[in-house]
Structure 1
Amino acid sequence: MSESYDLSVVIPVYNAADTLRTLTEDFLSISHFSIQVILVDDGSSDGSVDLANQFSDDHENVESIVQGTNQGAGKARNVGFEKAVGRYTIFFDADDIVHTDVICDAINGLDEGGADVAMMPYFYRRSLSSSHDAMNLNDSKVWSDIMGRAKRKTVKLDDAASLLGFSNYPWNKVIRTKTFREVGLRYGSTPVNNDILGHWYSLLFADDILLIDSEVCTHIVEASGSNLTNQASQVRLTLFDALDETYDVLDARPELRSRYAHHYWSFVHRTSRWAYGRLEPQVKPAFNERYKKHLNRIDLRDYSRIRRRRSPSLADSILSSLLY
């Protein structure tokens, strides 16, 4: 597939009429690079389709794709990625705010150094009316431990494997399209947590990772919105479908699985405990059963290495969860 643009922007759209215009115009305002915007509507009912189609009619570099039913952001991203013809691709969410100067910095950095992915921090905002907040505590610690005082750094995953445990957001990474099309990058098929698979793909198959210490996005979580943070019902159980999809990728590649097992199971434990604390009480027993079932997939050799060399406390937590 020929590369016709510098950057392809894939945006899943679901009832985002209030924010889609501003976001699309922000990307189209980038003048230093040629931009392709791919809007994939995922069953909207609020006028988003008309808005996306209008952008497509008015701009030859905007493509509008309409899916008749809501299938989840992961599938929408996969559909959009099939149409991407930029040298680089970013997956962005329709209700967040992009910092275009950082996008341009990432493209320049990838051009200069040849890395496969550029990764940046983000702002987290609880609502449109609040001020910018820092990243969550785990992400802040991971980022600070790796970056120190550096403003940019190119790393191998083996030297910065804790990035695998970073929140699995899609919009803080600009990827080299050709590299990740060849390795089959995809997002998950679940209604929530579908970005876990994409996050792990983006790091596992990158030869070099460019880290830029500038916030690329303001991520907005409204108290009444549909973000994962606000989900407490049975839908949370699909976390384990998303984890199964991700572990399948590792399990099919024993070298990668054994190399990053500690990071994977640490991520599973932390994410599951975070989700459990936000569940409706009637869902918790089924959640625990799914958690145990996924833990049972651990390779015994990996478990032994975690216990003996990496993190005895994590091994204790895994065993305790299995026996509970």
Structure 2
Amino acid sequence: MTLTIAIPVHDDEAFLLRLLGRLARLGCADQLVVVDDGSPTPLDHAALCAAATLPADRLTLLRHDTAQGPGIARNVALAHVDSDHLLYLDADDLPTRELPPLLADLASQTFDFCIFRHHDTRSEMERRWGPEQLDARLWRAAGTDIGALTPVGPKAAASLMQTANYPWNKIYRTDFLRAHNIGCSDLAVHEDIELHWRSFLAADHILASDRISVIHFVDADGDRLTNRLGPERLAVFTALDRIAAEIATREADPLPLALFALGLIGWIHDHLLPELRPAFADRARDWLNRHVDPALYPAIDAARPKIWADIDQLLVPAATG
């Protein structure tokens, strides 16, 4: 099994050097592909290799002269991958010591992708190690929270689909992504929704690992893409429309996407700039009316009894009427 780790980066050299140094110490990547997405000061290949003590031939550095977004950067990286497996990481992520054992677990396996657990630093407020509570519940519901490696059947996949759609909690078979033309959207945020959902919809062989292999750092007061709460958040419906259309074409179960979308819509609405909430509510109401059949409401209520109360009542008047 050979592995490439692909890393989009924009004006984030300090975090990138921290990540590259950790990867060098873990020794778990055959190839590193870094895409400098329009950093004001271009990254230097030799300087990166020297600072991270990496051989020059193990790191490929690509550059966009103007920022095009992390989704496009990841898609560009995929085109330069020579290994049979791929892991996306963001510059401010850190792999843990569990990543090499995970790769050893996977070495003899055949799979389209393996989803693994991660640690979210927001969990530390509750003195927990692992993902946030909703994701932890979904892993338990899938029956994949105990045991180093578990095959994922349709029922488990329906739960894991609803977990946070991060690009960096899955190890992909490179040819699987290419055969199904699976990549990220060209959106400023929510660019990873299509990568996550289309992977689940297209895969025949999914594995899940309970090894917590990456730390995801969240700074509520930071200036990262995840902290953006402006009009770019309204583009979420572009990604959700595409996934809903693919689910309809495949005649797949629409319930997991409905649950995922309701939770995401509620989170965005609660965090969005107040002046954007009316327009967002209109877009959300339109999306729900088009893609969430009222026949699903009992199943939604059974799965998450409080979900309607978690979002502004203006978003779902038909459900509360």
Relative to the length of structure 1, the TM-score reads: 0.84
Aligned length: 308
1:57-114 per-residue CA deviation (whole Å, 9 max, x = no partner) reads: 9511211110111111111101101111111000100011112x43333333333231
User: Measured at CA, do residues 304 and 292 of structure 1 come closer, stay the same or move farther in structure 2, by a change above 3 Å?
Assistant: closer
1:266-291 per-residue CA deviation (whole Å, 9 max, x = no partner) reads: 11111000110001211001101111
User: Measured at CA, do residues 278 and 228 of structure 1 come closer, stay the same or move farther in structure 2, by a change above 3 Å?
Assistant: farther
Corresponding residue number in structure 2 for 1:267 = 260
Counterpart Cα distance in 2 of 1:276 and 1:34: 39
Post-superposition offset of 1:322 = 5.5
Q: Say if 2:291 is the partner of 1:283.
A: no
Alignment-mate amino acid for residue 183 of structure 2: R
Alignment-mate amino acid for residue 17 of structure 1: E
Q: How does 1:95-110 map to 2 (within 5 A)?
A: 95-99=92-96, 101-110=97-106
Q: 2:287 aligns with which of 285, 294, 307?
A: 294
Corresponding residue number in structure 1 for 2:175 = 178
Residues 3 and 87 of structure 2 are in contact (CA less than 8 Å); yes or no, is this contact kept in structure 1? yes
Alignment-mate amino acid for residue 40 of structure 1: V
Counterpart Cα distance in 1 of 2:178 and 2:158: 22
Q: 1:311 aligns with which of 300, 313, 316?
A: 300
Alignment root-mean-square deviation, CA? 3.1
List, as ranges, runs of 4+ consecutive aligned residues in structure 1 with deviation greater than 4 Å.
Answer: 130-133, 312-320
Corresponding residue number in structure 2 for 1:203 = 200
How many percent identity over aligned positions? 27
Corresponding residue number in structure 2 for 1:44 = 39
Alignment-mate amino acid for residue 274 of structure 1: W
Post-superposition offset of 1:249 = 3.2
Counterpart Cα distance in 1 of 2:285 and 2:190: 18
Residues 167 and 196 of structure 2 are in contact (CA less than 8 Å); yes or no, is this contact kept in structure 1? yes
Q: 1:238 aligns with which of 235, 254, 263?
A: 235
Residues 189 and 226 of structure 2 are in contact (CA less than 8 Å); yes or no, is this contact kept in structure 1? no
1:290-315 per-residue CA deviation (whole Å, 9 max, x = no partner) reads: 1122223327xxx265246x335789
Residues 122 and 219 of structure 1 are in contact (CA less than 8 Å); yes or no, is this contact kept in structure 2? yes
Post-superposition offset of 1:231 = 2.4
Q: Structure 1 unaligned segments of length 5 or more: list them.
A: none
Relative to the length of structure 2, the TM-score reads: 0.85
Counterpart Cα distance in 1 of 2:70 and 2:46: 19
Corresponding residue number in structure 2 for 1:19 = 15
Post-superposition offset of 1:260 = 2.6
Counterpart Cα distance in 1 of 2:213 and 2:276: 36
